[in-house]
Amino acid sequence: MNIIKKAALPTLLLVLASIVPAKAQLGQIWGDFYGYTLDLQSYVRNNVSQTLKPLEFNVQSSLQEFTGEVNLPNPVLAGERVGNDILFYSLSDKFENNPVVRAQLIQNEIDRLVTLGAISSYWGESGQVRLKNLLDNSQKSINDINQYSQEADQIYQNILSKIASGASQLTGINGITANLSTNQSNLQLLTIKIESEQAKILTENLGQAVKTNQFLLYSNLNLSNIAKQIEETNQSRRVNASAETARLLKITAQADLLGRTDEVNHNNLPDESDSSLNDIPSDEPDSTLNDNLSDEPESTLELGE
């Protein structure tokens, strides 16, 4: 009976040992997640000036203001704060002079910036180091659990052999107790094997979750690029429409100016029926003067006769 108790005790310890690695892994979750948030904040801080000039100070201060307890910024509230500033102060740029449209564009750009920061923090150099450590630790836990399961199986076989060798000497209550201890050890062994298989399933789920997260991040990246291209296309269309409107206004103004000039020149031309033209002196001799000159010789002749 003492032999059975001594053999069953290590089995229980092995069951507890198989649970310890899982708890040890939980202690590293906050450290890994905090490293992820630091990388995200670093990406946003280093790239906000490239896409959000000259509002990078407003955006950075808003993101810091709406950063929560887990060190993650809230892009929705930060975008609303910057958008309200744009509407209140009527801020615009050389491509977009409508504050309402510009506020919406800035909010979309903040969302894209945080999305790209999340992708970079997960698949960046530091993010891949954290992911590799997580996968390595998970694989190590699986290997340890398999080893514990094999050792428990070996202990159980030793217990059975020892019980079988002394079964002829165990009668009555001792025999029943030996059978109960054997069944209990068998149940503990089965529990260890079940937990080992569950650990394998959980590790496989972890691998699938990593792949799924990868696909989601790439999908978010593609959606971000598509949204950026659509906004650039719409912005180019608005700029072209404004340029075309300005060109048509310029042509209309020039045509109106030329029309008014021709009308003024036409009004300044002299009218043939104007009586003032008769007062203009002419180089032709006056007919009245000629008549007077022709009459003088006739009067002289009359006097001579």
Q: How does pLDDT run across 90-119, given as a tens digit for each residue?
A: 777 766 778 888 899 899 999 999 999 999
pLDDT recorded at residue 80: 93
Please state, as a whole number, how many other Cβ atoms lie within 10 Å of the Cβ of residue 189.
20
Task: Report whether 126 contacts 225 (CB < 8 A).
Answer: no
Of residues 129 and 302, the one with the higher pLDDT is 129
pLDDT recorded at residue 236: 84
pLDDT of residue 165 exceeding 70, the answer is no
185: nearest Cα among 305, 2, 15, 301: 15
Mean pLDDT of 65-73: 92
Burial-class residue 175 by CB neighbours within 10 Å (0-12, 13-18, 19+): middle
Mean pLDDT of 19-47: 73
Would you list the domain boundaries of the chain? 2-239
- Most confidently modeled of 4-13, 61-70, 133-142? 61-70
Mean pLDDT of 40-51: 90
Mean pLDDT of 268-273: 54
Task: Report whether 162 contacts 7 (CB < 8 A).
Answer: yes
DSSP 285: P
pLDDT tier at 1 (50, 70, 90 boundaries)? Answer: very low
pLDDT of residue 293 exceeding 80, the answer is no
pLDDT recorded at residue 27: 46
Average pLDDT value over all residues in the chain:
75
pLDDT of residue 275 exceeding 80, the answer is no
What percent of the chain clears pLDDT 70, i.e. is strictly above it?
67
Judged by DSSP in three states, 38 sits in helix
Distance of CA 300 to the CA centre of its chain: 120
pLDDT recorded at residue 230: 92
Mean pLDDT of 148-174: 71
pTM, entire model = 0.63
CA angle (299 as vertex; 296, 301 as ends), nearest 5: 115
pLDDT recorded at residue 12: 35
